[in-house]
Chains A and B, each alone.
Chain A
Amino acid sequence: MKSQKSSSLLLGPFLIPVLSVIVALAIGGILVYMQGSNPLLAYRVLFTTAFGSLDGIATTLAKATPLVLSGLAVAICLRAGLFNIGAQGQLISGALASAWAGYNFVGLPMFVHIPLALLFGAFFGALVALIAGVLKAYRGVHEVITTIMLNSIVIALADYLASTPFKEPDQPLTRTPKIEDSARIPDVFGLPLGFFIAVIVSYIFWWILKNTTTGFRIETNGRNKNAGWYAGISIKRVIILSMLLGGAVAGVAGAIETLSIVGRFEPAFNAGLGFDGITVALLARANPLGVIPAAIVIGGMRASGSTVQFEAGVAPEIVDLLLALILFFVTAPLLAKFFRKKSEEVAVASGWGK
């Protein structure tokens, strides 16, 4: 992304994403209408549930929290020219690890226990991403395939762990025991504390990209691998570092979800959070700060999906459909061309080699 003057900075990064959301809602509306429901009612319910009350906003922010972080996990890798589709697996790994740390350590004070559990989440999220990073750096295996395969592997592995060694005793369900109270992330003023952690992390990432050599290395590698190589930047190190950062932040997303919402690890609870991260990151044009509003929009949709079904009779999967359409319009140069504006490139290494 080019550094632009402040005037175009306002329009540039926002015009296309906002238009994408509007066009996606319009097409989604037609499909809802064809299914025999009232799209205007559905959207009104969608909006008022998500943003119409203080409770609604709190729920929306709680839903947005893991999306900010998983969006960041994808965005930071996009900046380095890597497409991390594995946020889902990294997130689940982090969720399980933090749950384990949450119920296994007893008698710790809160200010030790919560950071420790978050650290567990970050570490195990990064560990999963590291596999993809190493294979990419040293064997040239494309990260899109490895991260997707790792998603499936982690999901199966977590399911096994939660159903056998880490299982809550004397319970038929596949889930771990409840975490200790000292590991629970509290709410502040009715708003989830996790959301503020996510915002701070986004800001730190934005700062790192803008102001540090590490950030410069990542961005240079993402823009042009040859230029980076000529400038003496080790591509291998950049790949592994960005995957580690992405994995860690996705792991924290899972950890926060476990420590503030679910209260234990239960496989079905984390489904889809990592994949929504892809939409969030592309909607935000891979900008660490843009991830926050993008996550709030999508979190709002997720928060009100079931109410829409209840009050407007539309299947809650409408949200999946809308997100897919948003993703299409935000990445396809259709809208950008229509407005005679060169779309900002989000560079991803094409092809399998190197």
Chain B
Amino acid sequence: MRIQTRYLVAIFSLLAFAYFYSRDGLVTTSVVYTAIQFALPLALAAMVGVMCERTGVVNIGIEGTMLISAFSAFFIGAIVQDTVIGLVTGIATGMVVGLLLALMSVSWKMDQIIAGVIINIMAAGLTSFLYSQNYSIPSTLSPIDIPIIGTWPIIGPIISFHGPITYFGILFIIGLWVALYKTPWGLRSRAVGEHPSSADTAGVSVIKLRYLNVTLAGAVGGLAGSYLALEAVGIFERGFTAGKGFTALAIMIFGRWNPLGAFAAAIFFGLAQAVTNQLMIDEVVQIPQQFINMLPYVLTIAILAISAGKVRPPAAEGIPYEKEKA
């Protein structure tokens, strides 16, 4: 999105919101509330992409990371009957997957696209083999009623009463933006993603930083998976992530590899889905369910087709670093 279009979209959204709010306040705020819930896992998954790609590692295995983390979060949570322990397990699982990706793409210098696809297929195979019914977690992570703000009109019903991962996730996204642009870690990461040999000359360990970031990104992927299993729905099924990890990549590109940009893009996706759902409930439009299910995928392709030529990915992305080459 160019800056001008960005403002246009923002102004248009506000006007649309004001119009719908004047017609029916309750429904409008609940649509936006739902949009945040749709957007959050996508936004977190997009952060995985941002963290990896900014240091020059393509991560196409986000889908698998989320799937296997959701799996372990749910089943460990169900076995020990403690949702919080499930959450910790989910995040740890994500880290392990991140480490595996780092191993394959940084140390073994495998083709990063193939490495990611392997993670996805392994996650699908492992979770469907180990899956079993008759398990349930004691409860989903309970929503938090924010004091004071929760009682405000308009903002209150939108912002308040989300689950803990949602609030943490939003804070994390803002924190990642600050870290990426205002701290030495961020500067080094971006340098490694753009021109690793220069970064190396300046004393930054390319390999170590890529390992660190890809592993941390894995933890974020684990958080996104745990959100789906423990906060959003409280169940696990085979193929549970339904392509969200890939949509997240489109969101990352749409947001120009910028955490806040990607967050805005995720909100846009969430809104599109929430509005469509509401239109279905109100029976304003009669669309077969299959077409509703298609919406995020079609949007992903459309957005990539529009933005792909206009945005510039990190320059060193996808290329294993070899010291001698410098």
Write the residues of chain A forming the contact surface with B, with a CB cutoff of 8 angstroms: 31, 83, 85, 131, 135, 139-142, 144-146, 148-150, 152-153, 156-157, 159-160, 163-164, 275, 278-279, 282, 315, 317-318, 320-325, 327-328, 331-334, 346-353
Contact = CB atoms under 8 A, between A and B. Distances in A.
Contact of B304 (A83, A141, A157): A141
A144 B121 contact: no
B290 A157 contact: yes
A135 B300 CA distance: 13
Contact size range, B: 35 or more
B108 interface: yes
A352 B58 contact: yes
A139 B308 contact: yes
Interface of B: 58, 60, 104, 108, 110-115, 117-118, 121-122, 124-126, 128-129, 131, 242-243, 246-247, 249-250, 253, 288, 290-291, 293-294, 297-298, 300-301, 304-305, 308-309, 312-313, 317-319
A334 B110 CA distance: 11
Q: Which among B131, B300, B308, B317 has the greatest number of chain A C-beta atoms within 10 A?
A: B308
Contacts of B247: 149
Contacts of A275: 121
Nearest to A146: B301
Q: Which 5 A-B pairs have the closest CB atoms?
A: A350-B318, A324-B125, A351-B318, A160-B290, A320-B125
Contacts of B294: 152-153, 156-157
A315 B242 CA distance: 23
9 contacts: A140-B308, A146-B304, A153-B301, A157-B294, A315-B129, A320-B128, A321-B129, A327-B118, A350-B317
A145 B301 CA distance: 8
A236 to B, nearest CB: 14
Given A141-B308, A317-B129, A135 B118 contact: no
Contacts of B104: 332
A323 B290 contact: no
Contact of A352 (B128, B243, B253, B297): B253
Nearest to B128: A317
Contact of A144 (B117, B125, B290): B117
A349 B313 CA distance: 14
Contacts of A140: 308-309
Q: Which among B118, B129, B291 has the greatest number of chain A C-beta atoms within 10 A?
A: B129
B243 A347 contact: no
A157 B291 CA distance: 7
A317 B125 contact: yes
A333 to B, nearest CB: 5
A161 to B, nearest CB: 9
Contacts of B60: 144-145
B241 to A, nearest CB: 12
Contacts of B291: 156, 160
Contacts of B117: 83, 85, 144, 278
A324 B290 contact: no
Given A148-B243, A331-B115, A350-B58, 13 more contacts: A83-B114, A139-B309, A145-B250, A145-B304, A153-B294, A317-B125, A320-B125, A324-B118, A324-B121, A324-B126, A350-B113, A352-B318, A353-B312
A157 B288 CA distance: 10
Nearest to A320: B125
Contact of B246 (A149, A157, A282, A317): A149
B113 A348 contact: yes
A153 B298 contact: yes
Contact of B313 (A163, A279, A353): A353
B281 to A, nearest CB: 20
B320 to A, nearest CB: 9
B134 to A, nearest CB: 14
A150 B113 contact: no
A140 B312 CA distance: 11
Nearest to B103: A332
B121 to A, nearest CB: 5
Given A157-B290, A160-B290, A148 B128 contact: no
